[in-house]
Chain A
Amino acid sequence: MAQADEAQGWLYDGVSAIRQEVALALVDGRPVLRFSDGRTEPLDGLTAADVDRDSLVYRRAGRDGWQLTLPRPLPDALKAALPRDAVYGRWIDRIGLGPAVAAGLAVSLIVLAGGAYLPQLLAPLVPRAWERNYGNALVGDFGGKYCAGPGGQQALNALAARLRPGARDFDVRVVDIPIVNAAALPGGHIVIFRELLAEADGPDEVAGVLGHEIAHVEHRDVTEAMIRELGFGLVIASLGGTTGGNANAMLATRYGRDAESDADRAAIATLAAAGISPRPTAGFFARLAKQEKKLGRLGDALGYISTHPTSAGRQARFHNAARPRASYAPALSEEQWNALVDICHNDPKRRKARRAGA
């Protein structure tokens, strides 16, 4: 005798595997289960588990395996007394699919924008002392690979002082690793790798590269990359699986290009202020392009050391920056330049280490 507010269904009680025929009825507006032997049981803690073509499934909190299946559609009065259908997930079911998609889209855009701009906004707020500590822990003494040939470091310091008189935000060292590159590392550590000096035709070329790395330090590009690497990249990549990972990779490359061309512009301005010709640097970049692949293993391990896009446009920018009637002076004297070029070769400690390694 099915009534308007009653439905026949079946129950597994989660204790045994026996299927029981039951009826669900309303008593004082609340759902009550009636068993075939006439027993009744009020249904508290009911949750909607599943909806499909012809049935509704309910479970009960704290009752492992308890499962009530009712036919669809249910009488309206009964349906109203039961929990809302579970389809997409609780929050989405509450507001509906359309609004949920819109809300998700809006939040995602905010998160992506945050991921893109927050490191840039936060970077200037990181105290230099923190960054310096982090940089010192990371870099140390570069495995004892700093070169200290006589007069070399003085020449390098003189070059740095000419580009940035009185600056204290960075230090520059030459590292005895045979690759043609330079890098700005956390904490204002600028390193020039040995082979870059060998490849350079004169001090002006090194001045251009150094100006570029100084710009990275002053613009807090390294700090920004550090934040991105430690923070948002990780959060987005781990939370979002592939979708978020792709988005993050996209952001990272975009940032890279902007920061590089900004640093180039700053380097040109620095050279102009110091009265050094930018033209030799253009020639150097042309030669660097051929060497770029040599970064290899080191480049893989250090995500944020300068990714140097060597393009025709980049060379042209330096080349065209030279003013025709300007009077340029060499960045270093002949004597200083010789000391700098041989800074590793003239360092007895490095010579010994290299012999031992070979």
Chain B
Amino acid sequence: MNDMHAAPTRHEDAPASGFEFTGAWREFLPIALTNLLLTIVTLGIYRFWAKARERRYLWSRTRFIDDRLEWTGTGLEMFIGFLLVMAMLVPIVLFLQFGVQALVLRGQFLIASIAILALYLGLFYLIGVALFRALRYRLSRSYWHGIRGGSDEPGWAYGWSALWKYAAAGVTLGLLTPWTQTRLWNERWNAMSFGPYAFGADADTKGLKTRWLMIYVAGFAAAILLTATSFMAVLGAAGTPNAGGTGLPVPQFTWTAFLGILGFYLVIVIASLAYYAAFFRKAIGSTRLAGLGFSFTARTRDWLMLILGNIGLVVVTLGVGLIFLSYRNWAFAMRHLEASGEIDLDALTQSPTRAATDAEGLASAFDIGAL
């Protein structure tokens, strides 16, 4: 009797989705404003508590099937996690800073460069670990029906895997990127669990490779078009008698160049969005939990509207809108996230994983998110 269907009834007018976001921006506004105020007067320290409040609201306004999610992470634990990571990283960074200065003063530019390279590789490795741990922490603080997720893996091996897979993508001029990203998605989610059940993910690169290559193609095409049109504009203007043979009037030429370059970037951005839209549909669509399957319905146009909306909001509010982006992004994700299948509540018991205590300290040290 306790089987919960993710999409129990398929009415014509109601979208079949296990997830529903019921938040309202008027409720979020006082949270965001007081968070901003407290973050400023504490020189930024309150940002951990701000994040906890924000998530508590967003999670509690997200229904999965019959009940809401609950975020139980606290600002204090995130602050402590951050301090612990800083206590480990700061001496290393200080030592390297001193060491590199001493090497430069001694004229050892080569050794100094190697030390800096090692520092960056180390940081890149830690960013991989941080990504894994942030996801693990968030699952371990996310409850549904009193049950949480988690992972027993520490993420050190994942860090190496991410390092060499991104290096492989790098040496192939980025061509392997879809492979790197889908593999790493699978590795992350295959290590995660919710309650007694393990997540499974087996995303492949089918359909992603073409979209990835399209970014290159679109970039080249836009560059050629840009060069050709600016050349023609100069020539054409030079030929008209009233231009006096000196090309376009300067302001007009500046505008043409500005619009051309803007167009070039726009083409790249849209081509990239087309890839990432496909990536998330593929990755989330290949992820399972016990009897549940997931899917993500956001298409390139949806992502574009989200980003344009975000930019518009920030510009119109002169930057204050930044505090609203987490709300918009979460609402977007929940609007497009769907689940199908069923889950047996009698068998859904508490997660046996150890509750993560590092509280995404590593991730906040690098200021990155979990996805």
Contact = CB atoms under 8 A, between A and B. Distances in A.
Interface of A: 12-19, 49-50, 52-53, 57, 59, 64-67, 87-90, 92, 97, 100-101, 104-105, 107-108, 111-112, 137-145, 177, 185, 230, 234, 236, 238-244, 247, 297-298, 301-302
Given A49-B72, A65-B146, A88-B34, A18 B346 contact: yes
Nearest to A101: B41
A18 B94 CA distance: 52
A185 B37 contact: no
Contacts of A89: 46, 49, 75-76
B355 interface: yes
Contact of B102 (A53, A107, A139): A139
B136 to A, nearest CB: 16
28 contacts: A14-B350, A17-B349, A18-B2, A18-B345, A18-B346, A50-B60, A52-B27, A52-B60, A53-B27, A64-B355, A65-B147, A67-B146, A88-B49, A89-B46, A100-B38, A101-B38, A104-B46, A138-B98, A140-B102, A141-B106, A230-B94, A239-B45, A240-B44, A242-B44, A243-B43, A243-B44, A244-B43, A302-B104
Contacts of B67: 19
Given A49-B56, A138-B101, 11 more contacts: A12-B147, A17-B346, A49-B72, A50-B70, A59-B72, A89-B49, A100-B38, A230-B94, A239-B44, A241-B367, A302-B104
Contacts, number: 142
A222 to B, nearest CB: 13
A16 B43 contact: no
Contact of A15 (B42, B56, B102, B349): B349
**Closest CB pairs A-B (n = 10):** A12-B146, A143-B107, A143-B106, A104-B41, A240-B44, A17-B145, A17-B348, A65-B146, A243-B44, A241-B44
B105 A140 contact: yes
B148 A240 contact: no
A345 B245 CA distance: 55
Given A16-B348, A64-B350, A185 B39 contact: no
A46 to B, nearest CB: 14
B28 to A, nearest CB: 11
Given A16-B349, A143-B106, A240 B43 contact: yes
Q: Which of B43, B100, B112 has the most CB of A within 10 A?
A: B43
Interface string B288-308: 000000000000000000000
B240 interface: no
B47 interface: yes
B90 A241 contact: no
Contacts of B195: 17
B92 to A, nearest CB: 12
A92 B43 contact: no
Nearest to A191: B105
Contacts of B145: 12, 17-19
Interface in B124-151: 143-148
A92 B44 CA distance: 15
B143 A67 contact: yes
Contacts of A105: 41
